[in-house]
């Protein structure tokens, strides 16, 4: 494992990738997401540029050095590792911050798998439990549980995306049956989604255990591959098992910390959420700015997560990434790689 000098991370603070406006050949449309900028090509492929933006509480909070590189390369690692587990959209990784993927029609909900009673946001299972609710997204919860305990079994708890959510614009946790009632998915597709997510989550948990970590919960996005009849297969899209989409805890001292009522040591963006919560921010109004110290510490945690999960040293690619991304994409697309 490598040790990343905090000074190298501090030097990157002024060169983070906050946004892109690439002029690529054959682009049908371009739009930014919370973290990824998407370029949809006329030939049925999608270029996803993973920026250094960090979001929490449904807000973009700023940028973290090398975060985009970590997420893109870690997600590519897991897509490759999970090739025999479930189908996914990834075709190529022509740059540390870029993935090229099959174009899909996204399922209009996020599939959240949970194995522990935890969380800090208003949509978390712990928040609902602490208010006395014993049913969450259609699942009955036992009495007498405490925060961060394992659930009897992993459960699927879908979340509508913000555009389908409540009046405040935040995501909304619902049951699978509710997705069907709203017409967001069919019963047949819900069965496929449930099976795919259970398999992928079991794979992710097993991998985390081998690396000395606990995968407490994770969020998946899935989509239907574009096809002439509109019935293409359902694929995992966006990212899987990264520190942005997943909650990782260190396994070695989890039992002791649970017994003493301490929070588990985490290796994900929960650090940033907890920092904002400590400042009194709970998701309403403009979030407080992240200090440089918090941004550097968050970068250290993202890089540590990469190294622990992959067993490989993370190689910093310093400097302004935008020119490098443009050159690598121009070379990749110019070579006529097909989808």
Is 70 exceeded by the pLDDT of residue 168?
no
Band (167; pLDDT cuts 50, 70, 90)? very low
Lowest-pLDDT range of 48-57, 93-102, 132-141, 274-283: 274-283
Query: Which DSSP string corresponds to 150-169?
Result: EEEEEEE--EE-GGGS-TTS
pLDDT in tens, 181-191: 999 999 999 99
Confidence of residue 163 (pLDDT cuts 50, 70, 90): low
- b or e along 105-139 (b: 16 or more beta carbons within 10 Å of the residue's beta carbon)? eebebbbbbbbbbbbbbbbbbbbbbeeeeeebbeb
- Tens digit of each residue's pLDDT (9 = 90 or more) over 252-299: 999 999 999 999 998 878 889 889 989 999 888 889 999 999 999 999
Q: Which two tokens stand for residue 302?
A: 């993202």
Query: How does the average pLDDT of the chain come out, rounded?
Result: 93
CA-based torsion, 88, 89, 94, 99: positive or negative: negative
The pTM is what?
0.92
Cβ neighbors of 124 (< 8 A, separation 6 or more) are 118
| Alpha carbons 16 and 314: distance in angstroms, whole number | 17
């Amino acid at each position: 494992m490598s040790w990343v000098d905090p000074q190298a991370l501090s030097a990157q603070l002024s060169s983070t990738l906050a946004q892109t406006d690439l002029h690529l050949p054959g682009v049908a449309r371009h739009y930014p997401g919370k973290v990824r900028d998407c370029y949809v090509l006329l030939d049925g492929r999608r270029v996803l540029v993973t920026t250094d933006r960090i979001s929490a509480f449904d807000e973009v909070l700023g940028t973290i050095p090398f975060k985009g590189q970590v997420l893109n390369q870690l997600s590519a690692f897991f897509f490759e590792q999970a090739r025999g587990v479930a189908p996914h959209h990834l075709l190529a990784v022509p740059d540390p911050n870029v993935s090229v993927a099959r174009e899909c029609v996204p399922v209009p909900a996020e599939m959240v798998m949970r194995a522990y009673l935890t969380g800090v946001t208003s949509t978390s299972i712990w928040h609902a439990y602490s208010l006395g609710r014993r049913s969450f997204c259609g699942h009955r919860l036992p009495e007498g549980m405490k925060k961060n305990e394992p659930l009897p079994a992993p459960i699927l708890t879908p979340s509508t995306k913000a555009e389908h959510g409540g009046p405040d614009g935040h995501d909304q946790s619902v049951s699978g049956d509710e997705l069907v009632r709203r017409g967001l998915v069919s019963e047949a597709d819900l069965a496929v989604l449930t099976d795919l997510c259970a398999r992928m989550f079991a794979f992710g948990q097993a991998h985390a255990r081998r690396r000395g970590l606990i995968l407490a919960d994770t969020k998946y996005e899935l989509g239907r591959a574009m096809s002439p009849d509109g019935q293409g297969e359902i694929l995992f899209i966006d990212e899987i098992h990264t520190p942005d989409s997943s909650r990782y805890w260190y396994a070695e001292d989890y039992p002791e910390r649970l017994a003493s009522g301490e929070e588990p040591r985490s290796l994900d963006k929960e650090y940033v959420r907890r920092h904002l919560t400590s400042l009194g921010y709970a998701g309403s109004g403009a979030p407080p700015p992240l200090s440089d110290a918090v941004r550097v510490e968050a970068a250290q945690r993202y890089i540590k997560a990469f190294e622990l999960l992959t067993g490989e040293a993370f190689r910093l690619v310093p400097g302004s990434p935008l020119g490098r991304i443009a050159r690598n994409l121009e070379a990749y697309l110019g070579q006529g790689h097909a989808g």
